Amino acid sequence: MAQFLAEPGVGIELRHVVHGGQRFEQSRPVRAGDTLTGTLQIDSLRAAAGMDMIGTRTEILHDDGEHVCTAYATLVHRAGGA
């Protein structure tokens, strides 16, 4: 998520972001020694009441390709913020 927010041209200032929600769907527990990789994608984007609502999904895989977890998050961003 931090890498996404830091991307040039994204235009999201962390100081103008509120965490709107998060949920997880686990395929298996995370185990000590696991090497995991997360791949984030934007699932939805909409404007409402002067805010941008950004829905993300992160697929988390073990280094052998086994699915471990899917993390969903909603960010609320106020462009130009107050």
Report the first-to-last Cα separation within the chain, whole angstroms. Answer: 23
> Model pTM greater than 0.95?
no
CATH number at residue 41: 3.10.129.10
Q: pLDDT tens digits, the chain, 82 residues: what are they?
A: 777 777 777 777 777 888 889 999 999 999 999 999 999 999 999 998 889 899 999 999 999 999 999 999 999 988 665 4
Backbone angles phi, psi at 15, to 5 degrees: -70, -10
Q: Residue 65's domain spans which residues?
A: 2-6+18-77
Backbone angles phi, psi at 38, to 5 degrees: -110, 135
* 11 falls within a domain: no
